[in-house]
Structure formats: C-alpha cells, structure tokens
Amino acid sequence: MPDVKLRYGKGHITLKIPEQNLAQVIQPRKQDASKDISGALRRALETPIRLTLTEAIANHRVCVLVEDGTRAEPHEVIIEELARKLGAAKELTFIITTGSHKVDSPRNLQITQAIQSSCQRHNLHNYQIHIHDALNSPCTTVGTTNRGTAVSVNNLALNHDAFVIAADMKNHYFAGYSNAIKNFLPGICDYATIETNHSLALETDSTFGRHPLHPDPSRRTNPCAEDMLEATNMILGDSPAFLLATITSGPYILWAASGNLDQVTTEGIRRIDEAASFFVRPTDHIIVSPGGLPQDESLYNAQRGLELVKNAVRDKGEILFLAECPKGAAPTPKARKFFYDYLTKPLPTILPSIREKYKLYSHKAGKFAELIQRVKRIWICSTLSAEQVEAVHLHHTSEPQTIVDGWIRSNPETQIIAFDEANKIAVYTADTN
C-alpha cells in the first residue's frame, strides 16, 4: 500500500492509500529543478531579456521591491544575488511589499536583516529599508484606473528613476498569477486602493490561468489583474522596470529570468503553465495540502490551495484538507473579521451580502462559501479547535487516515487524488483546453 507524504506545517502527514484507489499525487513538476539557486539567479542576471540591470539603474535613484514573508521563496539568496549587481545605483530604497499583510512579522524582520547584511557585504551605502504598511505608510494618489480604482501608493516609491523587482511566480486563485505586478498593487498601495481592486475578485473571469500578460491572447481577460497592471503602469510612469523572476518549489528552483518586466512576466506565466497546470477528471474524493508553512500558517492563507484545485472534486464530493494553521483563522484582526467571521453566517447569505457591500478579505469568504455549498463535506486536519472549524461549516478531524479509510469502506472503487503544494498549482477539468 503506497505511502502518500504531504506537507503539513513544518513537517508532513503520511497517509496509506491502496494503489487501486490512488488516482494520482499531484504537485508542481520538477523536471528542470535545481538546488543551485544562486547559480540559476546569476545566469538569469547575466542573460537578461530586453533590459539589463546596469541600463536600468546606472547612476539612478532606484526603488527595489522585495516580496514579504508570506511568500515561500528563498528571499535571502534572491536579495544577495541582486545586491551584487546594485552598486551602480545612485541611491536605493528597498520596500518589502506587504500589501495588506501583517507588517511586523518575524519573517519580514528577517528579510529586512537580510537586505541590510547584503548591502553591507557589497558596500552599498546610500540605501534605506522600509516595510510597507497599507494602513499607516504615507501615500499619494497617482491616478484612477478605468475600473475606478484610485491608485494611492507609498510615498517612498515615488520620484525614482528606476524600479527593480524580485518576484517569485505561481498560480493565483483570483489575480491569475502571482507575479511582479502584484508587488505594485497590492504590494505598495494603501488599504483603500487594495480594497477597491480586490472587489474585482468577485467577477467570474478573475480567476487562475488568466492574466493580461498571458502569452495566449484568449486568456488575457482578468478584471482584477488588468486593474493591477493599469495601476502598475501609473506608478512606473516612464521609469524602467527591471525584473528578476523565479519559480521555486521548496528547496528547488525551477526557472529564473531577468530583464524587462512585461516580457519576463509573460515568459514566467508560460513556464508556470508548463510546470504547475494539471488537467484531471474530477473524482468524489480529494486530499489537499497547501504546501506546509508559510502556505498553511492560517486558514486564510491555506484556503488558496482549495480554490486552485477545487475543479478536481465532483459536486457533492468530499475534501480532506491538511492545513496546520498555527496562526489561527487569519493573520490579522481585519482578515479575521471579514473572512472568518463572515463564514460563520448562514452559507446562502454570505455571497449576496459581500456583493452588496464589499470589504477587503471578504472575497475569500464568498469563494469558500461557494465551495462548501457545492461539496458534501470538507474535513480539515488542523490545530484549529473543533469549535472553530465547525463554526465555519467545516468538519474537524485529528485522524486524517480514518477519513480516507471511511471513503474506501463506503466505496471500495473510489478514486482519490492527492495534492501537495496546492497553493502553487492550478487544476482544470480534463475537457478544458
């Protein structure tokens, strides 16, 4: 009987599933994976697409955007390799692009220290480091998008001659793909800007696999991502934007490229589709691991994985969700209020109330409510209490193997699909093309 080992917090949960019942185990493909992250980044920086780093920054005031601690990527290595190349800049402003995430998290402080250490190691003197705070950082409105988003951006990102962005790429359940554009909006924008933009997540085409920079023209419609791109161009103005992009999976780097923001992002999307898109025939039972920490640090974070693989479960099927959630239901009080607390309401009322008056974070509650109503049951193995879980219409289990065994007893021919690193993949039904 095969052992299926799935990430959970800092460790793993191992489940035994008979071979005849295990349809497949799905995780990002690693054909070109390497643990030589530094080498891959150096090669990417030496062979840029359309724009060299030196061209972008030479004797310029440069804003460097670095992703925050909620991103599962090798921040220290990325920062170190960039810092080697930033000596030609006149001055540097590093901003950790938290968007609406928690500002003073331990991981963000570690990233700040990594930036400082790399700058000192490479004799970069004229620099400052800032963790963006959507509620408190001074911001200025630079314009309004066609969809009505007033773009208010951190003042420290204004009046620069060039931008350098480090972005790890993956599928995203409503912005299409996590990519450099998200480092601008939501990354360095104020709370009201983020809230207006994220209200577009409720639109049908705001989903994974679609982005205005997608190489396939038929997949470029995504209202939320289009709004983000328009805001990004407002923030950039005429300033060149140099991107160092990666696709990572645990300790592996699958791809890296650098150069012009748009071209590198388009190539990254193509590579994500190759590495992390899967076409499946839906089954009655699926097991989902978001990918361990930081992907499952809270129910709020972990839910992304469910959204990205939900096409794999049939209507009235069951899901076993493995998400440790050591930080509870949500990472901030506002996220808890408009995500978790919304989910405690009667399920049929949740989405209509969100559409009537959108609040940031509530789109996640709406999407979760839709899924909960579509399936028979979602089991969750978590450090959340049974009371916390059941309050939001989920079912608690401390023995995930028992759930799997029960599925097989009730239908000895059932097929089970297991997902690891679900927060980084995208699942389409087999008849989708």
Tens of pLDDT, residue by residue over 383-419, are 999 999 999 999 999 999 999 999 999 999 999 999 9
* Upstream peptide bond of 412 is cis (omega within 30 degrees of 0): no
Into how many domains does the chain fold?
2
pTM higher than 0.75: yes
pLDDT band of 368, cuts 50, 70, 90: very high
Q: Is the pLDDT of residue 300 over 70?
A: yes
Q: Which residues pair with 178 in a beta bridge?
A: 170
Q: What is the pLDDT of residue 45?
A: 97
CA distance 424 to 277: 9
Which domain CATH number covers 326?
3.90.226.30
- Check if the beta carbon of residue 133 is closer than 8 Å to that of residue 219: no
Domain boundary among 275, 304, 325: 275
pLDDT band of 2, cuts 50, 70, 90: confident
pLDDT band of 433, cuts 50, 70, 90: very low
Structural domain range at position 62: 37-275
Domain boundary among 252, 275, 298: 275
Cα–Cα separations (whole angstroms), residue 213 to 216, 218, 229, 231, 304 = 9, 11, 9, 14, 22
Q: Is the pLDDT of residue 429 over 80?
A: yes
pLDDT band of 431, cuts 50, 70, 90: low
Q: Which residues pair with 34 in a beta bridge?
A: 253
Domain match, 155 and 104 both: yes
pLDDT band of 331, cuts 50, 70, 90: confident
Which domain CATH number covers 119?
3.40.50.11440
CA distance 288 to 255: 25
Cα–Cα separations (whole angstroms), residue 68 to 74, 100, 337, 396 = 11, 11, 22, 31
Q: Is the pLDDT of residue 122 over 50?
A: yes
Domain match, 78 and 205 both: yes
More confident residue, 180 or 275: 180
Domain match, 397 and 323 both: yes
Domain match, 99 and 195 both: yes
Q: What is the pLDDT of residue 332?
A: 87
CA distance 47 to 34: 18
Domain boundary among 275, 293, 309: 275
Q: Is the pLDDT of residue 31 over 80?
A: no
Domain match, 222 and 293 both: no
Domain match, 250 and 310 both: no
pLDDT band of 223, cuts 50, 70, 90: very high
Domain match, 321 and 419 both: yes
Q: Give the model confidence (pLDDT) of 171-219 as tens digits.
A: 999 999 999 999 999 999 999 999 999 999 999 999 999 999 999 999 9
Domain match, 237 and 177 both: yes
User: What mean pLDDT is predicted for residues 112-141?
Assistant: 96
**Main-chain phi, psi angles of 191, to 5 degrees:** -60, -45
- Mean per-residue pLDDT over the chain, rounded: 95
Structure tokens at 389: 């879980």
- Check if the beta carbon of residue 324 is closer than 8 Å to that of residue 383: yes
Domain match, 285 and 228 both: no
